Amino acid sequence: MMKLKPFNKVLVRPAKTEPWTATFYSHAERNGHVTLDRRALWTEGNILPYNDATSHLLGTTDDFVPPADETTLFTCGQWVEARCGADKLFVKALYLYCDQTWDKPVHFVFDPACNKKLGITADEGIRPV
């Protein structure tokens, strides 16, 4: 649920087939939101805060796809495929946890084939089975 305040910058579109346009948020009214120009009532799915994560949508009809939160992408005990070993082939491994203390998140997995705990970054290769 978005927490918008008056004069927040927002992107709006009246329908999925129309492009996103920029305006200011005014206030909630009935079951939707109203922009400052009061030309239309915008429903929850057709209004987004304007920020770095949404600015690329301006002028397009693309749907908003939230960025993946790499730290919560997998859960402990989930089977994943990770690039392991010298040949860097994907192997089936058991996901353990994500450590965020490095410059980028490191996912730790247990590789049952070699009986080792391994640290993998997303760009090295980790994906759900």
**Contact call for residues 44 and 28 (beta carbons, < 8 A):** no
Strand partners, 42: 33
Look-up: residue for tokens 């400052």?
36
**Contact call for residues 78 and 95 (beta carbons, < 8 A):** yes
pTM of structure? 0.53
Contacts for 127 with CB less than 8 Å, ≥ 6 apart:
80, 81, 82, 90
Is the pLDDT at 35 greater than 80? The verdict is: no
What DSSP string describes 47-88? EEE-STTTGGGBT--PPP-PPP-GGGSS-TT-EEEEEETTTT
pLDDT at 42: 62
Instruction: State the DSSP code for 14.
Output: S
Is the pLDDT at 16 greater than 90? The verdict is: no
Most confident of the following: 54-58, 71-75, 117-121? 54-58
Mean pLDDT over all residues of the chain?
A: 83
Helix (H) or strand (E) holding 21, with range, is strand 21-29
Using a pLDDT cut of 90, give the percent of the chain over it. Answer: 25
Predicted confidence band of residue 109 (pLDDT cuts 50, 70, 90):
very high
Query: Rg for the chain (alpha carbons), in Å?
Result: 21
Q: Per-residue pLDDT averaged across 39-64, rounded?
A: 82
Q: Per-residue pLDDT averaged across 23-51, rounded?
A: 74
Predicted confidence band of residue 110 (pLDDT cuts 50, 70, 90):
very high
> Using one digit for the tens of pLDDT, what is the confidence trace for 69-86?
777 788 999 999 988 766
Cα(56)–Cα(47) distance, rounded to whole angstroms? 14
